[in-house]
Amino acid sequence: MSCGAPDHSVESVISQQKKAFSQVTTHPPRVLVLYGSLRPESYSRKLALEAAGIVQAFGAEVRVFDPTGLPVFDHVSTDHPKVRELRESVIWSEAMVWSSPEMHGNLTGVFKNQIDWIPLTQGSVRPTQGKTLAVMQVSGGSQSFNAVIALRILGRWMRMFTIPNQSSVAKAWQEFNVDGSMKDSSYRDRVVDVMEELFRFTLLLRDQAPGLTRRYSENKTDHVVSAAEASAVERKTCCA
């Protein structure tokens, strides 16, 4: 083992995992839903609300964030009420649902602006790391997957566990009732599948996330080691 290298022995990994996996959370999964349009008749909003109702029926506690009034991302508006609301909701959540229209072959600026306001680190907290994520999109024409692919890239960048299933609703204008609910169709069946999978993955992973996302490089940054302790570790590692 080289000087300063982390202990990746089987015994060490098992010990770390046992410590990380010993916690058992009993409250309902906390799900935050984001959508990517400001229009009153937004179909991504309707899809988001449909998904919220379904996962709530499974037993989750749900918050839906309204992006109306959220300022365009900058580095000086962190005290804005909508920014605080978004960041507090992200920290509260254990899982997220992202729903965006596909615009010019990609997700919308309204949606991306919300992600831009979510930091990878906020003090000692990593707001999104290790949380589960479901991605969905709506489109006005034929079925496409450009937006959900872009959302998956964002989810990976935000260090989230994006579930395998996803929803893409084509010709969204004809898939919703007057009251905003989804019509009974294969598209709605897929949304139910996605929410059920998100609910289950969240139950399985929310207590395991600290052990699964633990990184040597971050551990060095997070924990200040005294010179004496560092010297002792180095001697033990290099001279054993």
pLDDT digits (tens, 9 = 90+) for 142-176: 888 999 999 999 999 999 999 999 999 999 999 99
Mean pLDDT of the chain: 87
Would you say residue 207 lies in a domain?
yes
- The whole-model pTM stands at 0.82
Residue 225: per-residue pLDDT: 44
Length of the chain: 240
Q: What is the CATH number of the domain that holds 200?
A: 3.40.50.360
Would you say residue 232 lies in a domain?
no
Instruction: Give phi and psi for 186, each to the nearest 5.
Output: -65, -30
Query: What is the total count of domains within the chain?
Result: 1
Would you say residue 114 lies in a domain?
yes
Q: Which domain holds residue 68?
A: 24-214
